[in-house]
Amino acid sequence: MKKQIIENLLQNTGIEIDGTNPWDIQVKNSGFYDRVLQDHSLGLGESYMDGWWECEELDEVFHKLLLVDIEQLVQEKFTKDKEFFLMGLKLLFRKLPHFILNFQRKSKAFEVGEEHYNIGNDLFSAMLDPEMNYTCGYWKDQDNLADAQAAKCKLICDKLNLQPNQRILDIGCGWGSFARYAAKNYGVEVVGVTISKEQKELADELNKGLPITIELKDYRDITEQYDHVVSIGMFEHVGYKNYKTYMEVAANALKDDGLFLLHTIGSNTTSHFTNDWVQKYIFPNGMLPSIAQIGKAVENHFVVEDLHNFGADYDKTLMAWHQQFNEAWGKLEGNYSNRFYRMWNYYLLSCAGSFRARYIQLWQWVLSKNGVINGYQSLR
């Protein structure tokens, strides 16, 4: 019965249970069906981590599922079918706290650093490009990860029109990859802010001799002003209850004639919570903003000068990370469990499939406080 329900939901996806295509799901434990129906995305991910199902091309599974908006199909099933109404109600109650509580409040700001970014610099060093960029590369005219990440950093610098001796704020600076690129190639000083002690320690080592300062602090503690502000892949941790506060902080940190570049993953639809599996295992308290949510947050703070979407490039970036992670696993596996290995592959490939389906996006917003005199010239 429950296998039949899953098969019916997959009917228009091109995915078959125990089929012969590389994107078909091979079920190893019959408890898989009940687990997915009970816990949806959490059950799907956890059952994969536990080896209850396999798939040769996991990225294509998510690509195909999201092309047909599988979440909407599941929601309709649980709404119309009385037998599964209570299961849907259980999942609804799981989401309710996100409407009531502020999971990204200041007291919880360092949780994602402790649970994700502090996993191990050996892991990230093996997976990422040599400069440790942990955000989407810009693959226009590029054919490898390192060049795509350098092109992304150059694009940001040029969009901000960086000039020698300017002072730049990098909110969510990671391991200082953008800061190093900007300091070396544009002669600027950079102050970076991170909530990960592991990122700060390695960044300080990599940045020796450069005019870069990395601070371990929450964005709400920023008080100084800068010529320009940049935030690359950090806004996904802010949370919808704090979007307005974040924009206030960025506006106060930006000089009147400066620019703020916001680089963030975004959702096609407005939501107030994230995928349960991602929330539990990858990015605690994370959340993807919509254009509507960002637009509302920038009101009375910024003029939107430019909005650039290159979400399809994240598919390539994630697949490159996946390849490097797997190539390095022989050296890493002594520090991580096999369940972690399956979890990390699931994370990288499910995200790649999501971008491939254009289910989620990558936006760069260029914002000014008062509007650029004679207009802003967009760069691509």
Nearest 10 degrees: CA dihedral of 277, 283, 285, 288? -90
Is the pLDDT at 83 greater than 60? The verdict is no
Instruction: For residue 38, report the phi and psi dihedrals to the nearest 5 degrees.
Output: -75, -40
Whether 341 contacts 276, CB under 8 Å: no
Any long-range contacts for 332-339 (C-beta under 8 Å, 24+ apart)?
332/122, 332/123, 332/126, 335/120, 335/122, 335/123, 336/120, 336/123, 339/49, 339/50
pLDDT (0 to 100) of residue 91: 57
pLDDT (0 to 100) of residue 82: 57
Distance CA 324, CA 144 (A): 12
pLDDT (0 to 100) of residue 116: 80
Bridge partners (DSSP) of residue 304 are 367
Choose among 281, 171, 278, 289: nearest CA to 240.
289
Whether 375 contacts 303, CB under 8 Å: no
Instruction: For residue 196, report the phi and psi dihedrals to the nearest 5 degrees.
Output: -115, 120
Is the pLDDT at 86 greater than 60? The verdict is no
Opening angle at CA 211, ends 169 and 254, nearest 5: 20
Confidence label for 212 from pLDDT (cuts 50, 70 and 90): very high
Whether 276 contacts 42, CB under 8 Å: yes
Confidence label for 69 from pLDDT (cuts 50, 70 and 90): confident
pLDDT (0 to 100) of residue 304: 98
Specify whether the backbone of 304 is left (phi greater than 0), alpha (psi in -120 to 50) or beta.
beta
Average pLDDT, rounded, for the chain: 91
Q: Where are the alpha helices (DSSP H) in 68-209?
A: 70-80, 85-100, 111-112, 121-127, 145-160, 177-186, 197-206
Opening angle at CA 146, ends 346 and 236, nearest 5: 50
10 Å Cβ neighbour count for 68?
Answer: 17
pLDDT tens-digit map of 2-49: 898 889 889 889 999 999 999 999 999 999 999 998 888 999 999 999
Confidence label for 165 from pLDDT (cuts 50, 70 and 90): very high
Is the pLDDT at 243 greater than 80? The verdict is yes
136 noted as active-site residue: no
pLDDT tens-digit map of 275-325: 899 999 999 888 999 999 999 999 999 999 999 999 999 999 999 999 999
Please classify residue 89 by burial: count the beta carbons closer than 10 Å to its beta carbon, then call 0-12 exposed, 13-18 middle and 19+ buried.
exposed
Is the pLDDT at 236 greater than 80? The verdict is yes
**Which residues are within 8 A (CB) of 109 and not within 5 positions of it... i.e. 6 or more apart?**
195, 218, 220
The whole-number average pLDDT for the span 170-198 is: 97
pLDDT (0 to 100) of residue 117: 82
pTM of the entire predicted model: 0.92
pLDDT (0 to 100) of residue 70: 79
Is the pLDDT at 87 greater than 90? The verdict is no
Cα 182 to chain centroid distance, Å, stands at 22
Residue that is written with structure tokens 């093996």 in the block: 126
Distance CA 175, CA 156 (A): 17
The whole-number average pLDDT for the span 111-122 is: 78
pLDDT (0 to 100) of residue 95: 56
Is the pLDDT at 109 greater than 80? The verdict is no
Distance CA 150, CA 169 (A): 19
Instruction: For residue 162, report the phi and psi dihedrals to the nearest 5 degrees.
Output: -65, 140
Is the pLDDT at 106 greater than 80? The verdict is no
Opening angle at CA 233, ends 232 and 234, nearest 5: 95
Q: Which of 82-96, 146-160, 341-355 has the lowest mean pLDDT?
A: 82-96
Is the pLDDT at 368 greater than 60? The verdict is yes
Instruction: For residue 311, report the phi and psi dihedrals to the nearest 5 degrees.
Output: -60, -30
Instruction: For residue 111, report the phi and psi dihedrals to the nearest 5 degrees.
Output: -65, -45
Structure-block tokens of residue 66:
């999201």
Catalytic residue, chosen from 136, 157, 173, 351, is 351
The whole-number average pLDDT for the span 332-345 is: 97
Is the pLDDT at 84 greater than 60? The verdict is no
The whole-number average pLDDT for the span 191-197 is: 95
CA distances from 187 to 150, 152, 167 (A): 16, 18, 10
The whole-number average pLDDT for the span 357-373 is: 97
Map out the domains of the chain as residue ranges: 2-100, 106-368
CATH code reported for the domain at 106-368: 3.40.50.150
Whether 59 contacts 321, CB under 8 Å: no
Whether 232 contacts 263, CB under 8 Å: yes
pLDDT (0 to 100) of residue 1: 72
Is the pLDDT at 375 greater than 60? The verdict is yes
3-state helix, strand, coil in the chain (%, to 5): 50, 15, 35
**Which residues are within 8 A (CB) of 268 and not within 5 positions of it... i.e. 6 or more apart?**
290, 358, 359, 360, 361
Choose among 276, 192, 266: nearest CA to 236.
266
